[in-house]
Amino acid sequence: MKDNLAELLTNIFATSGHSVSESDTVDLIIEKNGTKTYIKLTTQPDISEINSFAAVVEDNIGLYVTLEKMSAEMWDYATHIGLITWDRDELAFQIGKAVIADIEGNTSDLELVAYDVKKHHHEELPAQIPDMSSSCEETEIWDSNNVEPAAPATNKPGFNIWRTSPEMQQAETNNDFIQYEHPQRTAQASAPAPNMMEEPQTTSGQPQSQIPFTLDLHTAPIKLQKDKAIAMARSEIGMPKDVSLKFVPYWRYAYAVKAEHRFKNKVVDISGQGQGCLNALNGNREQIELQQVNDSITLPDDSYEIKSQMFDQQEAETTLLSEIIEEYTKDVRFSNVVGEAMISEHKIFKPTADDIRFNIELVYVPIWEVKGSRNSIEINAYTQEILTEPVDDDVEFV
């Protein structure tokens, strides 16, 4: 597979006016107008391989090509150390561009590698190389007023609803468990659409829409830029006609359940924990990992839309608590021998709202909507995932 990819790229670069040669240290070396680019081909991205390739490239241009989709963390890291990266989506886009140029007879003008890429080798590298083995189960509890991992919201030692904590399992009775209290309603839940923190400053001859500005909004950051979103959408809907950015409201929640029931000489323990997001437009529960949420975001221009929530905090709490109680309801069977007869009976045990520790906050998620001639597609700009279901009812989905 790697050999086939090397042959394909050799043909594309040769057609576009590059001289192509092989090397003992990298897979391909291409040259055009006196500028060399070192190319590394791989079927699956790997951090150690990226570091080794960057060391070989040094101050030259390096192109890292993989047949698999790269995670946002790995993409950011490779770009930060000065590499050009083509993952599966970008590779498909570049190949398609080359095919179209060949059909139109414009291969000599085709630019596949930007030679003005600024190197970042001398910048301070991230404190840690991305850890691809980390699990979402290790994420700590968040607090509605602080997006960073926070200490437990109780003075009882060791209580943490985000982890599978020994303290929860060692709680002896419900009296030792924090009872559920409705969160105080904040102005955030009923406030109008957020305003800009900084008004864009215009200059002569420059339109206001092209000036970056900061938006006051409790939102996940944008990790997928507009041009890459368009490239990802081409394989799904063909040539895009329009692309827009919208911020979709979600009720981000975390919970822990701890209940103990006694029936005759049996003890039934009900405990667990979880997290997730409730779409405030359509009411769907989604497993979106929002490990980074900021109170403001910088946008390249003023072309965006903030969606208004359809479910308020009270409705979200009621829906989620009902579903959590149903999820943790147990139907337990008991068997006893009375004389020579075996008697079986079953009883249903369920937690109450007082058995649930609950935390909830309103968070916005940036979504790219790319429209084609017949339909459209949505891409989560934070997780960089193509959505299989629309986030609202206004989208005619693929």
Residues 6+ apart with CB under 8 A from 306: 193, 194, 217, 246, 247, 364
- Structure tokens of 32? 């055009």
Please give the distance of CA 90 from its chain centroid, rounded to a whole number.
18
Length of the chain counted residue by residue: 398
Asked whether the predicted pLDDT for residue 125 surpasses 60, the reply is no
pLDDT of residue 222: 93
Q: Which stretches of 16-46 are DSSP H helices?
A: none
Task: State which H helix or E strand residue 349 sits in.
Answer: strand 341-349
Cβ-based neighbour number of residue 303 at 10 Å: 12
Q: Which of 169-178, 225-234, 296-305, 371-380 has the lowest mean pLDDT?
A: 169-178
User: What is the C-alpha separation between 384 and 379, in angstroms, rounded?
Assistant: 6
Asked whether the predicted pLDDT for residue 139 surpasses 50, the reply is no
Q: In the chain, what's the furthest Cα-to-Cα distance?
A: 97
Residue type, 15: T
Per-residue pLDDT tens over the stretch 177-234: 333 344 443 333 334 444 444 444 444 444 444 567 788 999 999 999 988 999 888 8
User: What is the C-alpha separation between 278 and 322, in angstroms, rounded?
Assistant: 13
Give the burial string for 290-301 (b: 16+ CB within 10 Å, else e): beebeeebebee
pTM of the model: 0.49
Q: Where are the beta strands (DSSP E) in 97-190?
A: 142-143, 146-149
User: What is the C-alpha separation between 16 and 8, in angstroms, rounded?
Assistant: 13
* Burial of 146 per CB tally in 10 Å (0-12, 13-18, 19+): exposed
Q: Which stretches of the chain are DSSP H helices?
A: 2-15, 47-57, 72-80, 88-104, 166-170, 187-190, 226-237, 313-327
User: What is the C-alpha separation between 57 and 61, in angstroms, rounded?
Assistant: 7
Greatest mean pLDDT among 24-28, 339-343, 368-372 lies in 368-372
User: What is the C-alpha separation between 168 and 161, in angstroms, rounded?
Assistant: 8
Given a contact cutoff of 8 angstroms between Cβ atoms, the answer to whether 43 and 73 are in contact is no
Q: Where in the chain is the domain with CATH 3.40.1350.10?
A: 2-109
Q: Which CATH class is domain 2-109?
A: alpha beta
User: What is the C-alpha separation between 202 and 197, in angstroms, rounded?
Assistant: 16
Token match 């923190």: residue? 197
Cβ-based neighbour number of residue 53 at 10 Å: 23
Per-residue pLDDT tens over the stretch 40-91: 999 888 888 898 888 888 778 899 999 888 887 788 888 888 889 988 888 8
